[in-house]
Amino acid sequence: MGVVLQVHVPSRMDKPESSPLKQCGQENLLPAPLVLASVHELDLCRCLQPVLSHVQTLWELMLLGEPLVVLAPSPAVSSEMVLALTSCLQPLKFCCDYRPYFTVHDSEFKEFATRTQAPPNVVLGVTNPFFIKTLQHWPHILRVGEPRMSGGLPKQVKLKKPSRLKTLDTKPGLYTAYTAHLCRDKALLRRLLRGLQKKRPAGVLTALLRRHLLELTQSFIIPLEHYMASLMPLRKSITPWKTPPQVRPFHQEDFLCSLEQAGPQLTCILKGDWLGLYRRFFKSPHFDGWYRQRRKEMAHQLEALHLEAICEANIETWMKGKSEVEVVDLVLKLREKLVRAQGHQLPVAAETLQQARLYIETAIGSLPTDLQAVLCPP
């Protein structure tokens, strides 16, 4: 059996990565999904076959970074189920930890099994029924058995209360007290089950399911992207010889108020409590990861625009009447920006970098010989 490398397995210390934002004033696009080369593509529909009727609930649990145990009959089923679930959020990067196959011999077993603190934001794939007892305090446990058919259709696990979880002979089911915020897409479920019954090509059904999940995630994220873009200062507020303005703070209530006019209902047909889902999302690792990365990108964009503004200004006019300390300070700041830009942290054109180098030479050339020697040692 080939090894699936749909996405890399991150540690909890991983920081999200995304493509740079467009320049302020332009539309802000979602980053492309992070997909590494793999031996074969994950057959999403086959992997999620026993839980298709609850894929909406599982998508929400993944979105909110909820702790989830997947108890499967084999390491292969466990690994594929975990990888399938964690890939459901594309193009949003999965920022939590996940273990496709976890055993009692793993170093973090005691940490995950302790009842003295809340379970961590991890998706665990296991096969040993012993975990039903040791992880019984986890809020969501998905028990899947060997694939079974009933009337030509894959048998679906049922949604069950955690109180019905037994330490021995636990039947397949999604054991959780969580209630989904959004309604199920019954039409999609019918199409998938009908396709499985008629033995339609696996690639067709997986494409259908992936497209649904992709559009669902995009519908959820686009309002956040639009609101975040509105926090970017206008380009005209960036002047060459002043510190660039900061990205305005993200106010959750302001964002929620904006949903009435620009919410997910514009691009998604699913009804439900979108506001409640956003409120829980704000407390999740995925919001924290998404927001930190977006704010970092926007700060870099502002710094790049500031560098462009400096390079478009007349440095010789600025230097008139300036003290040596001010000129040296400019040289040091321009050098720092060049280092960051050359390290691909700032999205600037090559012409801008060349102009910045010329400005540094001009500024240094205006200083006394002793300071020139300090700034440009032989």
Please give the pLDDT value at position 147.
73
Q: Which helix (H) or strand (E) holds 143?
A: strand 140-143
Please give the pLDDT value at position 169: 63
pLDDT recorded at residue 342: 80
* 11: pLDDT strictly greater than 80: no
According to DSSP, the β-strands at 173-176 and 158-160 are: parallel
- Mean pLDDT over all residues of the chain? 85
Q: What is the pLDDT of residue 5?
A: 37
Q: What is the pLDDT of residue 138?
A: 94
Q: Between 305 and 340, where is the model more confident?
A: 305
Question: Is the confidence at residue 53, as pLDDT, over 80?
Answer: yes
Contact 39, 110 (CB under 8 A): no
Phi-psi region of 108 (alpha: psi -120 to 50; beta: other; left: phi over 0): alpha
Cβ atoms of 192 and 46 within 8 Å: the answer is: no
Alpha-carbon distance of 290 to 278, in angstroms, equals 13
User: How large a percentage of the chain has pLDDT more than 90?
Assistant: 53
Which residue would you say has higher pLDDT here, 151 or 114?
114
Q: How many CB atoms lie within 10 A of CB 375?
A: 15
Query: Is residue 130's pLDDT more than 60?
Result: yes
| pLDDT value, residue 344 | 73
What pLDDT, in 10s, does the model give residues 230-258? 999 998 899 998 888 999 999 999 999 99
Least Cα distance to 174 among 156, 188, 187 occurs for 156
Kindly report, as residue ranges, where domains of CATH 3.40.50 are found in the chain. Answer: 44-204
How far is Cα of residue 335 from the mean position of the Cα atoms in its chain?
A: 33
Is the Cβ–Cβ distance between 120 and 67 less than 8 Å?
A: yes
Q: Which fold would CATH assign to domain 44-204?
A: Rossmann fold (3.40.50)
pLDDT in tens, 163-187: 777 665 678 899 999 999 999 999 9
- The answer, yes or no, to whether residue 217 has pLDDT greater than 90, is yes
- What number is the average pLDDT over the span 273-279? 96
Task: Give the separation between CA 338 and CA 307, rounded to whole angstroms.
Answer: 9
Maximum mean pLDDT: which of 31-45, 48-62, 363-377: 48-62
pTM: 0.81
Helices (H), ranges, the chain? 44-47, 55-63, 75-86, 109-113, 130-134, 186-197, 202-230, 252-262, 274-281, 285-312, 315-319, 324-342, 350-365, 369-375
Q: Of 11-25, 26-40, 96-110, which range is least confident?
A: 11-25
